[in-house]
Amino acid sequence: MSEAARMPATDAMGRTIREFLKQGTAAEHDTLDARLGSLVLADRDGYVQFLDIQYRARCGVERWLEARALDNPPLQSDLIARDLASLDRVVPTETPDFAAADGGDTLGVCWVLAGSALGNRAILARLAKAQADVPTAFLADPRMGQYWRSMLPALARPCDSCEHDNVLRAARATFRHFNLVASQCLALKAA
């Protein structure tokens, strides 16, 4: 057995940055997917709630990135606002701020947003199969998928857990932000 094969799962050596981030955020990602996935096909109100959560969470992250990153993912909150308006829903005016730990590393934050394009494509396919009559400007936006593909070379680089720990912290902070916004919105709906 090679030395790399004997390394503990928590050691990032021999893995790519993408694999390191995927493993390091699996719990937060699964929680968010469970919360939002059930809303999308529940009914029209569930879809509105999904868009509302996405809008509220993304606005803060987009503001944070605009202040820090040079190669930001495309802004999508405007597309979500358009979808909400098409559903005759009020676009939220108050959106929580986002802050990554220790100032954060933009790669981790961008990875979370760009990776969502993969999930959005799957959701769009599920809506099409269900013949749901809902606006999908946000889900169908090809720009985030293109941005994701542009990130792949950076994400394929070998990972050093010491060097990339700040990237992981930023990715986790991003998932925590989305999960917190989802929890708050779902609690309001239940009240």
Contacts of 130 (CB under 8 A, 6+ apart): 41
The pLDDT of residue 1 is 35
pTM, full prediction: 0.89
Amino acid 163: pLDDT? 77
Look at residues 138, 67, 52 and name the one whose alpha carbon lies nearest to residue 98: 67
DSSP-derived 3-state class of residue 168: helix
Q: Which residue ranges form the domains of the chain, and what is each CATH number?
A: 16-190 (1.20.910.10)
Residue 187 is predicted with a pLDDT of 84
pLDDT of the residue at 17? 95
pLDDT in tens, 53-91: 999 999 999 999 999 877 889 999 999 999 999 999 999
Q: Which of 29, 21, 8, 1 is nearest to 166 (CA)?
A: 21
The two three-digit tokens of residue 97, written as one number:
């701020």
Within 11-141, residue ranges assigned H as helices are 17-24, 26-40, 44-66, 77-86, 106-129, 137-140
Does residue 101 register a pLDDT over 50? yes
Mean pLDDT, residues 8-17: 62
Q: Which residue has the tokens 């100032």?
A: 103
pLDDT per position as a tens digit, 113-156? 999 999 999 999 989 998 889 999 999 999 999 999 999 999 99
What pLDDT is recorded for position 66? 92
Read off the pLDDT of each residue in 10-17 and give the average, rounded to a whole number: 68
Token digits of residue 18: 């993408």
Distance CA 85, CA 140 (A): 16
Confidence bin at 160 (pLDDT 50/70/90) = confident
**Predicted pLDDT of residue 104:** 65
Q: What number of CA atoms fall less than 13 Å from residue 149's CA on the CB side?
A: 4
**Predicted pLDDT at 71:** 80
